[in-house]
Structure 1
Amino acid sequence: MKIVKIKRKTKIKNIHSKNMGRLSSHVTSIKKYLLGIPIATLHKYRETYYGEVKDCKDCILQA
């Protein structure tokens, strides 16, 4: 059994940007787990409308 794991999970979230307006996008987050409990989010990125991969700091996420 591993004590520390790193998992990647993809969700569909609504994103609002100034240029495109509101759109649904796949947001992938990479998290670090200790004994099955999430400790920290290492990285978050999303796939754009055109298929590019960008960091989530470039957009405003709406829940």
Structure 2
Amino acid sequence: MKLISIKRRTKKEKRYTQKMGVLYTDVTYIKKFAFGIPYRTMHKYRGTYYGKIKECGECVLAN
């Protein structure tokens, strides 16, 4: 059993950008796990329709 592991998970989220409005997109989270419990999100990003990778800090969550 590994003590520390890194996992990548993709899930659908609702995002908001000023140019496009509300956007449903796949957001990928890279998390670090210790003893199977997540304790740190190392990176999160989203892929665009055209294949570009963007940081999630560029768009805000829609409420």
Scaled by the length of structure 2, the TM-score of the pair is 0.91
Question: How many residue pairs align between the two structures?
Answer: 63
> 1:17 deviation in Å?
0.3
> 1:49 deviation in Å?
3.4
Question: Percent of aligned pairs with the same residue?
Answer: 49
* Root-mean-square deviation over aligned CA pairs: 1.2
Partners in 1 of 2:20 and 2:31 — Cα distance?
28
Q: Where has structure 1 moved over 4 Å in runs of 4 or more?
A: none
Gaps in structure 2 of 5+ consecutive residues = none
- SS, match of residue 57 in structure 1: helix
> 1:53 deviation in Å?
0.8
Gaps in structure 1 of 5+ consecutive residues = none
> 1:26 deviation in Å?
0.3
Partners in 2 of 1:10 and 1:47 — Cα distance?
11
Scaled by the length of structure 1, the TM-score of the pair is 0.91
> 1:2 deviation in Å?
0.7
Give the structure 2 partner of residue 34 of structure 1.
34
The answer (yes or no) to whether the contact 2:15–2:60 under 8 Å persists in 1 is yes
